[in-house]
């Protein structure tokens, strides 16, 4: 991991250690709360520029992100590319385009997310682009927690790649030690 990037995560409180329940339902002892970093426009501009350098996308018409975590970084990527930015929101547990957002047939779309653990949300956005007859030109995330196991059939880049151990609730050693957990993600906040 780029030490400069890790320093930004640490400085802004975006890298946390403890007992966390992830959006996927898995448990972990480490958490990347990218919103803590993305609240600072200078840092956001910096990390977006570095991610774009790794992605090096060509002919992008639109950036599409999942709400809530991907909105800010997706917008900044789009700003730097000079293109539109839209986001998908959950409705009945599925990501959908709302707010009259549209993907036009043939639009070249870059999918941008804050954190990938299993790749589920990123894949849902990719599927949404394809359902709307858009063209996926690539996908990028700030943090790939899968250690490179998240796999997409498109060019993919992450700014930070870490291999963080995750557990099902039944396997979680932190639960077995009765350590309280925190659910800091957008689909459930607070401590138990």
pTM of the model: 0.86
pLDDT at 185: 66
180 contact partners, CB below 8 Å, separation of at least 6: 19, 191, 192
What is the pLDDT tens value at each position of the chain, 192 positions in all? Answer: 455 888 899 999 999 999 999 877 889 998 889 999 999 999 999 999 999 999 999 899 999 999 989 999 999 999 999 999 999 999 888 899 999 999 999 999 999 999 988 888 999 999 999 999 999 999 999 999 888 888 899 999 999 888 888 899 999 999 999 999 988 865 554 444
pLDDT at 158: 93
For 143-157, the DSSP string reads EETBTT----SS-EE
pLDDT at 192: 46
- The terminus-to-terminus CA distance of the chain in angstroms comes to 32
Taking the domains of the chain in order of start, what are their residue ranges? 3-176
Give me the CATH code for the 3-176 domain, please: 3.40.50.2020
11-15-16 Cα angle (round to 5): 120
């Amino acid at each position: 991991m780029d030490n400069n990037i890790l320093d930004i995560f640490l400085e802004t409180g975006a890298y946390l250690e403890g007992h966390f329940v992830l959006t996927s339902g898995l448990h972990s002892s480490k958490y990347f709360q990218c919103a803590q970093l993305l609240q600072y426009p200078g840092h956001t501009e910096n990390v977006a520029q570095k991610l774009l350098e790794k992605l090096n996308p060509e002919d992008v018409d639109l950036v599409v992100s999942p709400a809530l975590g991907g909105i800010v970084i997706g917008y900044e990527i789009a700003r730097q590319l000079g293109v539109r930015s839209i986001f998908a929101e959950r409705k009945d547990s599925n990501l959908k385009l709302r707010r009259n957002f549209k993907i036009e047939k043939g639009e070249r779309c870059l999918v941008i997310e804050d954190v990938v653990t299993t790749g589920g949300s990123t894949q849902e956005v990719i599927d949404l682009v394809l359902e709307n007859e858009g063209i996926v030109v690539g996908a990028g995330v700030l943090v790939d927690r899968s250690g490179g196991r998240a796999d997409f059939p498109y060019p993919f880049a992450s700014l930070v790649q870490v291999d963080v151990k995750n557990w099902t609730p039944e396997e979680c050693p932190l639960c077995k030690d009765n350590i309280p957990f925190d659910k800091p993600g957008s689909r459930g906040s607070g401590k138990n």
